[in-house]
Amino acid sequence: MPELRQNPATKEWVIIATERAKRPEELGTGVIAPPANEKDHCPFCQGNEKKTPNELFSYRTYGTAPNTPGWWIRVIPNMFPALMPQGNPDRVHTENLFLSMNGIGQHEVLIETPEHTHSIATMPQQQVEEICLAYRERYIALSQDPRYEMITIFKNHGLNAGTSLRHPHSQIIATPITPMHIRHRIEEAMRYFDDHGSCVYCDIIEKEKKIGERVVAETDNFIVLEPFASQSPFETIILPKSHASTFDSIPPERCKELAYVLRMTLVKLFRSLNNPDYNYVIFSSPCHERSLEYYHWYIMIMPRVTAVAGFELGSGIYINTVIPESAAKFLRETPFE
Ligand SMILES: [Zn+2]
Ligand SMILES: [Zn+2]
């Protein structure tokens, strides 16, 4: 069973993931080369459904059975989960100093397409739309469990972004805690609301539209920006223009527009930076704290074009070598269609 442990000095939580434990000598051995006949061995390819745990959810052709071919999106439990769904979130205090709890949670993999070599930037619009709809479905399903506080949806694309499996997939992790990282964002947004009586993200959208130079693209309901204080080159955020604090508040019919914006942004990054490794994350408020007037969900895309080094680790201050205004101009001018 994995365990959640809190650092008593910083209040930061860590998952001690025993299910994916490595022997110390296995660490630092670098990348495992994919086998020559990669598709035959890939557990996410069509026809290899039996190589994965039973599916939790899928979009598939009517009449086809679960865990057989015929799907175009498939959600399965992660084969090496960081957290496990059995148990309760009781806290354990040791020596009146160390806080830990069972590593309960749910760790899912969303297989985005049966096509092994696609990526969102090369998929048809319709497929990306289905991915967004599936994210929404899983967010809603997991948020029904009262033990979970946070549902984090994210994608690692490429080796430098932390994935070794090429087949396009995203991950969803439900956790029983709200980590400091998110709490800090929420508290700052709450403070801003106390001072100004408005949502800081709504205000950012309004001012960035007025200034214009950091806007990459805009549709009726979404805006794509290079943040004023981007932490690394080409950090890009996608914000819904109308205020909402949790991701599942997006109406299903708007997933089409979200998919258009997400795909457009990733195509522009793909073309500008020559298929960079990247992570994206959907930031949302804790799932049971709905309709917060001071927090605003959004997607952050972080191309992995530079490595985090000692100064960043030591100071928490990132050094960004690309001016966000230049990155925005470059992406604006990069063709999409
Ligand atoms: Zn595959
Ligand atoms: Zn807002």
**pLDDT tens per residue, range 202-260:** 999 999 999 999 999 999 999 999 999 999 999 999 999 999 999 999 999 999 999 99
> Which pLDDT band, with edges at 50, 70 and 90, does 39 fall under?
confident
End-to-end CA distance of the chain: 48
- Smallest CA-to-CA distance from 142 within 107, 189, 167 is with 107
- The pLDDT of residue 19 is 67
> Which pLDDT band, with edges at 50, 70 and 90, does 41 fall under?
confident
Element housing 72 (H / E): strand 71-77
Question: Residues within 5 Å of ion ligand 2 by Cβ?
Answer: 199, 201-202, 243, 296
CB atoms within 10 A of CB 166: 18
Distance 15 CA to ligand 2 centre (A): 31
> Which pLDDT band, with edges at 50, 70 and 90, does 20 fall under?
low
Residue 103 has pLDDT above 70, yes or no: yes
> Which pLDDT band, with edges at 50, 70 and 90, does 119 fall under?
very high
CA distances from 146 to 81, 177, 192 (A): 20, 11, 29
> Which pLDDT band, with edges at 50, 70 and 90, does 165 fall under?
confident
Residues belonging to the active site: 169
User: The sheet that has 150-157: what strands, in order across it?
Assistant: 57-60, 71-77, 106-111, 169-175, 150-157, 278-283, 298-303, 236-240, 222-225, 215-218
**What does residue 125 show for φ and ψ, rounded to 5 degrees?**
-50, -45
Distance 311 CA to ligand 1 centre (A): 38
Find the farthest-apart pair of alpha carbons in the chain and give their distance in angstroms, rounded. Answer: 61
* Burial (0-12, 13-18, 19+ Cβ within 10 Å), 242: middle
- The pLDDT of residue 233 is 96
Tokens found for residue 33 = 């080369």
- The pLDDT of residue 22 is 60
Distance 167 CA to ligand 1 centre (A): 5
- Over its C-alpha atoms, the chain yields an Rg (Å, rounded) of 20
- The pLDDT of residue 17 is 86
Is residue 65 helix, strand or coil?
A: coil
Question: Which DSSP state fits 311?
Answer: H
Distance 118 CA to ligand 1 centre (A): 10
Quote the pTM value: 0.94
Which ligand approaches the C-alpha of residue 249 most closely? 2
Is residue 60 helix, strand or coil?
A: strand
CB atoms within 10 A of CB 188: 13
**Average pLDDT score over residue span 40-46:** 91
Tokens found for residue 45 = 């390819």
Residue 335 has pLDDT above 60, yes or no: yes
Please give the residue that has the higher pLDDT: either 164 or 206: 206
Q: What value does the mean pLDDT of the chain take? A: 93
Q: What is the pLDDT of residues 296-313, one digit of tens each?
A: 999 999 999 988 889 998
> Which pLDDT band, with edges at 50, 70 and 90, does 25 fall under?
low
